Chain A
Amino acid sequence: MTTLEQARPLSAADDDIGREKRLRMYRMLLELRLCEKRAYDLFLQNLVKGTSHLSLGQEAVAAGFALGMRRDDYTFCTYRGHAHTLARGAAMAGVLGELMGRACGVTAGKGGSMHLTSVEHGAMGSYAIIGAHLPVACGAAWSAQYRGTDQVTVCFFGDGTTNIGAFHEALNFAVVWKLPVVFVCENNLYMEYTPIGTVTAVAHPAADRASAYGLDPVIVDGNDADAVFRVAAKAFERARAGEGPALIEAKTYRHSGHSRADPAKYRPQGELEQWLQRDPVNLYRERLVTLGYPELDLRSIEQDTARRVDEATQSAKASPTPALDLIHKDVWANGGSAWRN
């Protein structure tokens, strides 16, 4: 029993989501897209030194959830976390600067691409050990439950994560403690370089496991930002009402390889092209046009976003490298790293 959430029929009345949110959604999708593209350009210029895992093609998941979140909600994500961190409101210059190892980076160059964090925006960290952040997200949700706030914790992870122990520990724990946490599996069909289906016992790696924890199996079209938004809103409402966790599987596709080192040659011919037909940014634009949003408004958002990405790039490039004394800072709460007297 799988619930496939699809976009509802459109009407000129702009249905349940509304004009203001739709424009914000489009702006966010574009920002995530253009900023990721810029990150890729910066690799090619050798300005991004370490690895990087792009969300190109998966932007609708980040945008759809983020748009439904409250400012004080928590996001936990993986090393493929640029989009999620930006979607919560972290500055583009901070994200690009972090990738480039600059002082203006969101963690001043100490975390790097795989550990983007912006606590002031509720982006509680990007975690680079598969599965680790699911139990941590449970803890944040427990804290919200204990403190009596109705904050929701959203935890994003990839399809490969569903085969690691921490996934199963966290789901059981979250259900038993009835925690306000929403687990979101971004199923982009590949566990790094391997098709997820060849290493997973079930067809839908997250949804087919849901019943083991007494949860409803939910699958959403992860390339349709509106569909994602609606599924998210429903899960948030339940979580805030004290009805416990949700597990959502968003079907999507990454347009690039697993990381900067991966040309993704393992993909069957034509697969990428097929998914590009369902590019989440283009899909959204087409929808807005169909709904009668003026072309001029859309262009203005596009131009404005492109300009802001350029400005962020310039600002990151102009930022100095971090001061070397950062090496010895912030191991401890007192700001230092002393381990002896």
Chain B
Amino acid sequence: MAELTYRDAVAAGIAQEMERDERVVLLGEDIGAAGGVFKATVGLFERFGPRRVRDTPISEQAIIGAAMGAAMTGLRPIAEIMFSDFFGVCWDMIANEIAKTRYMTNGQVALPLVIRTANGAGSRFGAQHSQSVENWAMAVPGLKVVAPSSPADVKGLIAAAVRDPDPVIVFEHKSLYSVKGEVPDGEALDALGAAKVLRTGKDCTIAALALMVPRAMEAAERLQAEHGIECEVIDVRSLVPLDTRTIMGSVVKTARLFTVEENPRLCGWGAEVASLVAEECFWDLDAPIVRITTPHVPLPAADSLEDATIPSVERIVDTVQRAMG
């Protein structure tokens, strides 16, 4: 068991798959010689060479289009979009081309590719470099979507994404890159579509994703210590496929559900989870489902404003405590 940062675990996951499968290639802006702006691809260029680790121009449509064309003709590309906000400039490629082509061609075209991107707030970069856009991807049929919260998960889920025969978007969280965690030695291979119960509890369920997971865990500690509320914390991990069984299994036990999401309020992933739970577990619930979200605003840049905008440990504690009170 080694302790790795989240960013090193990303590189380790990619390296593991490139080592295993010659068809795996990497492309993106500054990912090669520079090792990535978040240093999540450090060492790959030196190890696998410029043929397999290719720097591209700042041309997001070309990056994603090239990944698609390569995937449909036998390669297993991993494309990096530096910030998930930039999905806006290649959304046609992602939502219209990659997501739909297998379906439109009646299964003639396979698209085994991965799009990695740095998602989320916390870096004081302002509204165009800080969004959480995993809900955009979740809304498009044909895309698989994961958002790992720990070094071990990001390594194993990248491996699973690379081996999956369908397009997978891996939302890495930029505020997690420097976080350290234990990563098991040897081959890492996780499963898409599996949530994880990180903490058991009988009083309520908190479903969280990515950066919101460590915050939910810290909030759960405090709720236990300060208010005697025992929270079950679920790391949703995968939005598509969605592990409704694990989430609903917990709700049936606790009869209360809170979602903690970094998405702005309208149509955040928690809305879909809340809708499913309301529809299928209504009689198991003791009280309304509560969504803890970023307000429906673009993100402000100043540290004080950004911190007050995305859900904090305090906000989770207050919201749960008041609702459970």
Q: Residues of A with Cβ closer than 8 Å to B?
A: 74, 76, 106-108, 110-111, 115, 117-120, 124-125, 127, 129, 131-144, 146-147, 153, 165-166, 169-170, 172-173, 176-177, 326, 329-335, 337-341
Q: Is the CB of B102 within 8 A of A331?
A: yes
CA distance A160 to B244 in the complex (A): 46
CA distance A117 to B110 in the complex (A): 13
Known: A117-B108, A139-B70. A330 touches B241 (CB 8 A): no
Question: What are 25 sample pairs from A and B whose C-beta atoms fall under 8 A apart?
Answer: A74-B73, A111-B104, A115-B104, A117-B105, A124-B109, A125-B104, A125-B105, A129-B97, A135-B63, A135-B64, A135-B66, A135-B69, A136-B97, A140-B69, A140-B72, A142-B75, A166-B61, A172-B59, A330-B103, A331-B142, A332-B165, A337-B141, A340-B242, A341-B243, A341-B244
Q: Is the CB of B102 within 8 A of A333?
A: yes
In the bound complex, residues from chain A placing their C-beta under 8 Å from that of B106 are: 106-108, 110-111, 326, 329-330
Q: Is B213 an interface residue (CB 8 A)?
A: no
Q: A120-B108, A341-B241 are in contact. List 17 more A-B contacts (CB 8 A).
A: A110-B103, A115-B105, A117-B105, A119-B108, A135-B93, A136-B65, A137-B69, A142-B70, A143-B70, A143-B74, A153-B69, A165-B61, A166-B65, A166-B92, A169-B57, A331-B102, A331-B103
Known: A107-B105, A110-B105, A339-B241. A135 touches B74 (CB 8 A): no
How many contacts between A and B, using CB within 8 angstroms? 163
In the bound complex, residues from chain A placing their C-beta under 8 Å from that of B107 are: 329-330, 335
Closest beta carbon of chain A to B201's beta carbon, Å: 23
Q: Is the CB of B92 within 8 A of A129?
A: yes
In the bound complex, residues from chain A placing their C-beta under 8 Å from that of B72 are: 124, 136, 139-140
CA distance A65 to B200 in the complex (A): 64
CA distance A330 to B104 in the complex (A): 9
Q: Is B96 an interface residue (CB 8 A)?
A: yes
Per-residue A-contact encoding for B93-123, CB less than 8 Å = 1, 0 else? 1001100011111111110100000000000
Q: Is the CB of A169 within 8 A of B102?
A: no
Among A74, A111, A329, A332, the one with the most B-chain Cβ atoms within 10 Å of its Cβ is A332
Q: Is the CB of B244 within 8 A of A340?
A: yes
Q: Is B71 an interface residue (CB 8 A)?
A: yes
Smallest CB gap from A124: residue in B: B72
Q: Is B62 an interface residue (CB 8 A)?
A: yes
Known: A107-B105, A330-B107, A332-B102. A169 touches B73 (CB 8 A): no
Among B62, B97, B103, the one with the most A-chain Cβ atoms within 10 Å of its Cβ is B62
CA distance A331 to B104 in the complex (A): 9
Q: Is B56 an interface residue (CB 8 A)?
A: yes
Smallest CB gap from B193: residue in A: A341
Q: Is B20 an interface residue (CB 8 A)?
A: no
In the bound complex, residues from chain B placing their C-beta under 8 Å from that of A115 are: 104-105
CA distance A338 to B244 in the complex (A): 12
In the bound complex, residues from chain B placing their C-beta under 8 Å from that of A169 are: 57, 59, 61-62, 65
CA distance A66 to B61 in the complex (A): 27
By Cβ-Cβ distance, the 5 closest A-B pairs, closest first, are A139-B69, A135-B65, A333-B165, A139-B66, A330-B107
Q: Is the CB of A340 within 8 A of B96?
A: no
Smallest CB gap from A119: residue in B: B108
CA distance A341 to B276 in the complex (A): 12
Q: Residues of B with Cβ closer than 8 Å to A?
A: 25, 51, 54, 56-57, 59, 61-75, 77, 92-93, 96-97, 101-110, 112, 141-142, 165-166, 193, 240-245, 276
CA distance A339 to B70 in the complex (A): 25
In the bound complex, residues from chain B placing their C-beta under 8 Å from that of A142 are: 66, 69-70, 75
Q: Is the CB of A138 within 8 A of B69?
A: yes
In the bound complex, residues from chain B placing their C-beta under 8 Å from that of A125 are: 101, 104-105, 109
Candidates B54, B74, B108, B141; contact of A107 at CB < 8 Å: B108
In the bound complex, residues from chain B placing their C-beta under 8 Å from that of A76 are: 69
In the bound complex, residues from chain B placing their C-beta under 8 Å from that of A134 are: 65
Closest beta carbon of chain A to B45's beta carbon, Å: 16
In the bound complex, residues from chain B placing their C-beta under 8 Å from that of A335 are: 107
Closest beta carbon of chain B to A162's beta carbon, Å: 15
CA distance A322 to B244 in the complex (A): 32
Known: A129-B92, A169-B61. A139 touches B104 (CB 8 A): no
In the bound complex, residues from chain A placing their C-beta under 8 Å from that of B77 are: 139
Closest beta carbon of chain B to A199's beta carbon, Å: 20
In the bound complex, residues from chain B placing their C-beta under 8 Å from that of A111 are: 104-106
Smallest CB gap from A114: residue in B: B104
In the bound complex, residues from chain A placing their C-beta under 8 Å from that of B109 are: 117, 119, 124-125
Closest beta carbon of chain B to A124's beta carbon, Å: 7
Q: Is the CB of A338 within 8 A of B241?
A: yes
Closest beta carbon of chain A to B30's beta carbon, Å: 15
In the bound complex, residues from chain B placing their C-beta under 8 Å from that of A135 are: 59, 61-66, 68-69, 93
Known: A166-B65, A341-B243, A341-B244. A333 touches B74 (CB 8 A): no
Q: Is the CB of B65 within 8 A of A143?
A: no
Among A136, A137, A340, the one with the most B-chain Cβ atoms within 10 Å of its Cβ is A136
CA distance A57 to B76 in the complex (A): 39
In the bound complex, residues from chain A placing their C-beta under 8 Å from that of B241 are: 338-341
CA distance A118 to B106 in the complex (A): 10
Smallest CB gap from B244: residue in A: A340
In the bound complex, residues from chain B placing their C-beta under 8 Å from that of A133 are: 65, 97
Known: A172-B57, A331-B141, A339-B242. A129 touches B96 (CB 8 A): yes
In the bound complex, residues from chain B placing their C-beta under 8 Å from that of A118 are: 108
Q: Is the CB of B51 within 8 A of A146?
A: yes
CA distance A108 to B108 in the complex (A): 11
In the bound complex, residues from chain A placing their C-beta under 8 Å from that of B65 are: 132-136, 138-139, 166, 169-170
Among B66, B70, B72, B96, the one with the most A-chain Cβ atoms within 10 Å of its Cβ is B66
In the bound complex, residues from chain A placing their C-beta under 8 Å from that of B112 are: 333
Q: Is the CB of B68 within 8 A of A136?
A: yes
Candidates A165, A173, A329, A331; contact of B56 at CB < 8 Å: A173
CA distance A308 to B37 in the complex (A): 59
